[in-house]
Copies of this chain bind each other. A is one copy, B any other.
Amino acid sequence: MTFTVVAEKKGPSDKRRRIIDAAVSVFSRQGFYTSTVADVAQEADVADGTIYLYFKNKDDLLISIFEECMDIFIESAEEELTKGKDAVEKLRMFIALHLKLVQKNRELAQVIQIELRQSSKFMKEYANEKFFGYLAILEKILSGGIKSGHFSPSADPVILKRAIFGAIDEMALEWVLMKRKRYTMEEAADQLSRLFVEGLEVAK
C-alpha cells in the first residue's frame, strides 16, 4: 500500500482508491509525462475504461492525488492542532506533521514535489483551493499567535504563511531528491521550528 495516509480514509469507492494508489506508484516510478492511463490501469488491475468512470483524464488523476492528499493533511492538521496549548506549539506541530507525512509517503511526496510542479495546467490554470485551505491554517496560527501575544505584532501573516510554506516545501523537495539522506524530517522540522519561533539571532 503506497498511499498509506490517504488509504486510511474511507473513500467513496475501493476501485477509485485502488486507481489513485496505482497512479501514485506509476507516476513516481516513470514520471507523469511518460506514463499513460493504460499503465495506471495495468498497475491497478482494472480495464482502461474503468479509469474514465472516475477521472476525466491523466491530468485529472494527478490533480485528484494532490487534492486527496491536501484533504487528509488539512483534516489531520485541524484535529491535531486542537491539542496544541499555544501558537508556538501549534506552529511546531504543523511543521512536524507536514514533514512527517513526506517521510511516511515517499512515492506520494515524489509525485507532489516533482511531477505535479511540472504540470503547466496545475501551475497556471488550476484554481488551487485546497492549497489555500492549507495556507489558511498557517495564517490562523500566525494571527492567533499575534492576538494572544505570543508572536510579534510586526509579523505579517499574509506574507509569512507563504514564506513558511516555502521553507517546509523546499525541505520536502530536497529530502525527496536526496539519494543518501543527510538528515531526517524530524531534524528538519526541529530546525525550522527554532528558526521561525526563536530566530537565528543570539539575544544580546
By a beta-carbon cutoff of 8 Å, the part of chain A in contact with chain B is 31, 33, 88, 91, 114, 117-120, 123-124, 142, 145, 149-152, 154-156, 158-160, 162-171, 173-174, 182-183, 187-188, 191-192, 194-203
- Indicate if the CB atoms of B201 and A200 lie closer than 8 Å: no
- The 15 listed contacts between A and B (C-beta, < 8 Å) are A91-B200, A118-B119, A150-B200, A150-B201, A155-B200, A160-B191, A162-B174, A163-B171, A163-B195, A166-B168, A166-B171, A166-B173, A167-B167, A197-B200, A197-B201
Pairs of residues from A and B, 9 with the lowest C-beta to C-beta distance, nearest first: A166-B170, A199-B199, A163-B167, A167-B167, A198-B199, A151-B200, A166-B167, A166-B166, A159-B191
Q: Chain B residues near A150 (CB, 8 Å)?
A: 200-202
- Indicate if the CB atoms of B159 and A170 lie closer than 8 Å: no
CA–CA, A166 and B98, complex, Å: 15
What is the minimal beta-carbon distance from A26 to any residue of chain B, in angstroms? 15
CA–CA, A198 and B191, complex, Å: 15
CA–CA, A187 and B142, complex, Å: 17
Nearest B-chain residue to A165, judged by Cβ: B170
Q: Chain B residues near A91 (CB, 8 Å)?
A: 200
CA–CA, A33 and B142, complex, Å: 39
Nearest B-chain residue to A194, judged by Cβ: B154
- Indicate if the CB atoms of A117 and B120 lie closer than 8 Å: no
